[in-house]
Amino acid sequence: MPSYLIMNPFGFPILTTTIFLPLVGALVILFLRNDRAIKITAFIASLFALGVSLLLFARFDYSSALFQFGEMTSWIASYNINYILGVDGISVMLVMLTTIISPFAILSTWNAIQIRVKEFMISILIMETAMIGVFCSLDFVLFYFFWEAMLIPMYLLIAVWGGPNKDYASLKFFIYTLSGSVFLLVAIIALYLVNGTFSIPEAMFKGYSFQFQFWIFLAFGIAFAIKVPMFPFHTWLPAAHTEAPTVGSVFLASILLKMGTYGFIRFCLSIVPQASFYFAPLMIILALIGIIYGGLVCLGQTDMKKLVAYSSVAHMGFVILGIFTFSLYGFVGAMLQMLNHGVTTGGLFLLVGMVYERTHSRQIYDNAGLGKITPVYMFFFGLFSVSAFAFPGTNSFVGELYVLIAAFLTNRIVGFFAIIGAVVAAAYMLNLLKKIAWGREDKRDIQDVSLREFIYMLPLAVFVLWVGLFPRPFINVMETTLVNLAMQLEKVSH
């Protein structure tokens, strides 16, 4: 076992179990015929994954910056490709996010998906496997396998169960992400030829020449920037979101986008630090453009889902901003924002999906004035929309505050523009909230939140308030890793 891995304290390979439990569920579903049984099996499989991943926290060593619960098996020996798994403070939170979001997302499809339920659930479970795999892989080839394999089920989710313009959206999604990924592949091979191994931790902080770092950063950067998505690579996102079924949007916003920022913080910063410093001004400018541009576009939207989609562009800008300040505050803020965006935007997409199931429209006007008709729904919608513009007391406030502090410490002008972005966010979210709550007077027959919907919204709401009021437990998990990362970068910069 290499030095960067800490042995797995459990008697069984816990990360492998977490990754492949959903896949086992998918295999079971293959033999089922009844739609209801299929849905229940999918839900239970993802619940099991959640349960196993909760065990991670029971034995997670908060004081270590190494990769924990390590597993290593030889895979393709002649090319030194290994099956290496391990999580540190950064990835354990994202694994958690994935396993938490997945069962709720599956629960939300109970009535929404009526056709080809079997294929749908299999796609979702395969995607969950691939998503957890991305965050746990410590070998580039393994990582790339999961990273790319995820595209297939996501593509099918949009292409088969999507809206009227699904052909265009799904193709654009696939082509965009793949064209970024092939450069990632070339960069991975380049790193292998230098290091002689595909192991990710062994490629970190190696002091490559600047020339080499420059090209590697570009190749990585394009792949991750498309995934985030950063301005100007964001155009696939609104298309994919508007056409995808609710659960597709939830996965896309909550987890797939995080892979881009995860890539930046895990690969770019620690493998090519000098190039990261060099490109930081560009990244920060693009992030700021994303924040403000995304916000301005949101102001003009009449489609609820599109609005939430564009707000993702703005929110992810904050994450990038935090990462490229290279400070501990920035990293903590970025990590928190990744989780917050996952929960808040995921929640908003679920809420949009709920109202769409009832009114079959995503236009703001058609869904306006719900305040008196569906009060419970309005409670959730209000909570998540104030969270989306970082209202104090909600989760995003904490994360955004960290990022803003880091931004101001780096450069006041940067901080100033970020603040403008935050104000714009308040404008469009409050505008949306106002219209949805009080926009129309007429009474319509719209059902309020059902028990099933209440069950999957409640934990997300609890999370919003918990992180908003008492973020310490979450920060504790990732602090050691982030402090270590900041220190390493500090060393390199001198």
Partner 1 sequence: MTLLPEIYTFLFSLVFLFLSLGKGKRPLFILARTLAVIGLVISFLSINASGLLFSGAYRVDYFSQIFKVLLNIGLTLVVFMFHKDDEVDNVPEFYMFLGFSTLGLTILVSSVELISILVSLEISSFSLYAIVPLRRAQTRDHLEASIKYLFFGAISTGIMLYGMGYLYAFAHSTYLVDIVEKTPVFLARPFGVLALLLTLTAFFFKLSLFPLHFWAPDIYEGASDATTTFIATVPKVAGAAVLIRLTMLANSPVSQLALLLIVLAAFSMTLGNLVGLVQKDLKRLLAYSGIAHAGYLMLGLLSFNEDGNAAVAYYITVYLFMNLALFYVIMLLSRGGQNLKISDLTGLARKSPLLAFTLAAAAFSLAGIPPTGGFTGKFFLFVNAFRAGHLAIVIIAAVNTVISLFYYLNLVRVSYSKEAQGPSVGLSFYEKALCYLFSIAIIILGLMPLTFMEMFRQAM
Closest CA to 222 of 269, 177, 272: 177
Per CB under 8 A, which region of 140-148, 244-252, 424-432, 481-489 contacts partner 1?
140-148
Question: Which residue of 39, 166, 241, 341 would you call a contact of partner 1, by CB under 8 A?
Answer: 166
Residue 420's contacts (CB-CB under 8 Å, 6 or more residues apart) are 292
Does 217 sit near partner 1 (CB under 8 A)? no
Q: How many helices (H) and strands (E) does the chain have?
A: 20, 3
| Complex with partner 1: residue 174 or 318, whichever CB lies closer | 174
Question: Which residue of 186, 373, 419, 427 would you call a contact of partner 1, by CB under 8 A?
Answer: 186
User: For residues 318-357, which are near partner 1 according to CB under 8 A?
Assistant: none
Question: Which residue of 167, 361, 393, 469 would you call a contact of partner 1, by CB under 8 A?
Answer: 167
Hey, which residues does 83 pair with through a beta bridge?
A: 73
- Find the shortest distance in angstroms from Cβ 179 to partner 1: 5
Q: What dihedral do alpha carbons 311, 314, 316, 317 form, nearest 10°?
A: 180
Is 72:82 a contact under the CB 8 Å cutoff?
yes
Helix axis angle for 89-108 and 472-493, nearest 10°, is 140
Could you tell me the CA-to-CA distances from 492 to 127, 214, 221, 326 in Å, in that order? 37, 15, 20, 12
Question: Which residue of 61, 148, 202, 303 would you call a contact of partner 1, by CB under 8 A?
Answer: 148
Is 243:166 a contact under the CB 8 Å cutoff?
yes
Hey, which residues does 5 pair with through a beta bridge?
A: 67
Does 235 sit near partner 1 (CB under 8 A)? no
Question: Which residue of 10, 20, 60, 75 would you call a contact of partner 1, by CB under 8 A?
Answer: 75
- Find the shortest distance in angstroms from Cβ 29 to partner 1: 13
How big is the site for partner 1, counted in residues (CB under 8 A)?
36
- Give the DSSP H or E segment for 85: strand 81-87
Does 20 sit near partner 1 (CB under 8 A)? no
At residue 156's C-alpha, the angle toward residues 177 and 35, to 5°, is: 150
Closest CA to 91 of 150, 19, 9, 35: 19
Does 190 sit near partner 1 (CB under 8 A)? yes
Does 212 sit near partner 1 (CB under 8 A)? no
Per CB under 8 A, which region of 4-12, 177-185, 265-273, 344-352 contacts partner 1?
177-185
Question: Which residue of 1, 37, 54, 189 would you call a contact of partner 1, by CB under 8 A?
Answer: 189
Residue 145's contacts (CB-CB under 8 Å, 6 or more residues apart) are 133, 137
- Find the shortest distance in angstroms from Cβ 129 to partner 1: 11
| Complex with partner 1: residue 104 or 198, whichever CB lies closer | 198
Is 289:221 a contact under the CB 8 Å cutoff?
no
Does 432 sit near partner 1 (CB under 8 A)? no
**From CA 289, how far away is CA 44, in angstroms rounded?**
42
418 is written with which tokens?
């970020």
**From CA 424, how far away is CA 253, in angstroms rounded?**
20
| Complex with partner 1: residue 56 or 187, whichever CB lies closer | 187
| Complex with partner 1: residue 55 or 218, whichever CB lies closer | 218
What character string, x for contact with partner 1 (CB under 8 A) and - otherwise, covers 28-67? ----------------------------------------
Does 475 sit near partner 1 (CB under 8 A)? no
- Find the shortest distance in angstroms from Cβ 128 to partner 1: 15
| Complex with partner 1: residue 133 or 201, whichever CB lies closer | 133
- Find the shortest distance in angstroms from Cβ 120 to partner 1: 12
- Find the shortest distance in angstroms from Cβ 381 to partner 1: 32
Is 186:140 a contact under the CB 8 Å cutoff?
no
Per CB under 8 A, which region of 34-42, 170-178, 342-350, 371-379 contacts partner 1?
170-178
Question: Which residue of 44, 171, 299, 492 would you call a contact of partner 1, by CB under 8 A?
Answer: 171
| Complex with partner 1: residue 243 or 479, whichever CB lies closer | 243
Residue 428's contacts (CB-CB under 8 Å, 6 or more residues apart) are 295, 298, 299, 301, 307, 311, 389
**From CA 70, how far away is CA 378, in angstroms rounded?**
44
Is 248:112 a contact under the CB 8 Å cutoff?
no
Does 175 sit near partner 1 (CB under 8 A)? yes
Does 159 sit near partner 1 (CB under 8 A)? yes
Is 323:331 a contact under the CB 8 Å cutoff?
yes
Does 117 sit near partner 1 (CB under 8 A)? no
Closest CA to 24 of 45, 55, 48, 1: 45
Question: Which residue of 144, 212, 277, 408 would you call a contact of partner 1, by CB under 8 A?
Answer: 144
- Find the shortest distance in angstroms from Cβ 185 to partner 1: 7
Binding positions for partner 1, rule: CB under 8 A: 75-79, 116, 119, 141, 144-146, 148-149, 151-152, 155-156, 159-160, 162, 166-167, 170-171, 174-175, 178-179, 182-183, 185-186, 189-190, 192-193
